[in-house]
Structure 1
Amino acid sequence: MTRGRPCTTHHRARADLERQGVVVTPGRVVDDGDLVTAGGVTSGLDLALWLARRELGADAAICLEQMLEYEARGTMWTAAPGPG
C-alpha cells in the first residue's frame, strides 16, 4: 500500500501517484522502510546501491560502484534509519 507514504517515480508519472494519494517526494531514491522507490531509469542503479549500502554497509556499496563504474548521485530521501 502506497497511500499516504512518501514515494518517487519517473517525472511523467508523478501526477498518477498523487491521484493515488501518495506523498510524492523529490529525490532519485525514496526509502520509507519496507517501500523503496526510484525516480527513473538510471535511478534504479542508485536504488540498488542504496539497498546494498543499507543492508550490507558502505564498503559493499563502494565495491559495487567500482565494479559497475557508476557513482551514486542525486538526492536520496529516507524516513527509515540509514546505514550505520
Structure 2
Amino acid sequence: MSQIEQLSSINGKPMVLHEGYIYTVERATTTKLIFRCKNRDCKARCHTNLSMNAFLSLPTSHCHAPQPDCVPAIK
C-alpha cells in the first residue's frame, strides 16, 4: 500500500511517519495498532498490523500541514 517508517518516542513507544505526519499509538487490539496524529488538535487516525509494516486503513485527513521539521528531532 504505502511506505511506513517506524520511529520511537523518547519513552520508547512506537511511532509511525507517513508523508510528513507523525502518529503515536492510541491503542492496540489483538489484530492491529491504532495510531493518532501527534498533533492533539488533529483527528487523523490510521491502523497498521501488529508488526507495523503495512497499513490496514490509510490515514484520514489532517486539519494541518505536514511538519517535516519535527521528524529529524524525533529520529
TM-score between the two structures when normalised by the length of structure 2: 0.27
Structure with the largest fraction of strand: 2
TM-score between the two structures when normalised by the length of structure 1: 0.25
* Higher-RCO chain (CA-CA 8 Å, sequence separation at least 6): 1
Structure with the largest fraction of helix: 1
Q: Which has the larger radius of gyration?
A: 1
